[in-house]
Amino acid sequence: MARIRSLTQSASQSKVHPTEVDAEWALIDAGGQRLFQLSTFGSDERMSLPKVSQTIQLDRATAKELMSAVTLVFPDLGV
């Protein structure tokens, strides 16, 4: 669980992850500063009840960087 402070494009090659999970997002008000929070849940194969597995938070600046990256990958979205 972390707050992302910077976002840069990786030059490494990755493979598609074999496991799919559900996620939810939330608006966090941190004393007047708004944060975007994305939380993922364990896979369907997890033995325990569904619970948050990972959480990331973005402030306005890193959210803007993410939007730019998403637009590069999916230009037809017109973000």
Give 10-residue mean pLDDT values along the chain (79 residues): 94 90 95 95 70 92 96 87
Which residues form the domain of 49? 22-72
Please name every residue paired with 52 in a beta bridge, in sequence order, or none if there are none: 41
The DSSP letter of residue 78 is -
Give the per-residue pLDDT at 79. 56
Q: Do residues 37 and 28 lie in contact, with contact meaning Cβ atoms separated by under 8 Å?
A: yes
**pTM (whole model) above 0.85:** no
Residue 2: inside a domain = no
Give the per-residue pLDDT at 24. 96
Residue 10: inside a domain = no
Q: How many domains does the chain have?
A: 1
Give the per-residue pLDDT at 52. 83
Give the per-residue pLDDT at 68. 94
Residue 77: inside a domain = no
CA 35, 36, 40 angle in degrees (round to 5)?
A: 135
Residue 1: inside a domain = no
Residue 14: inside a domain = no
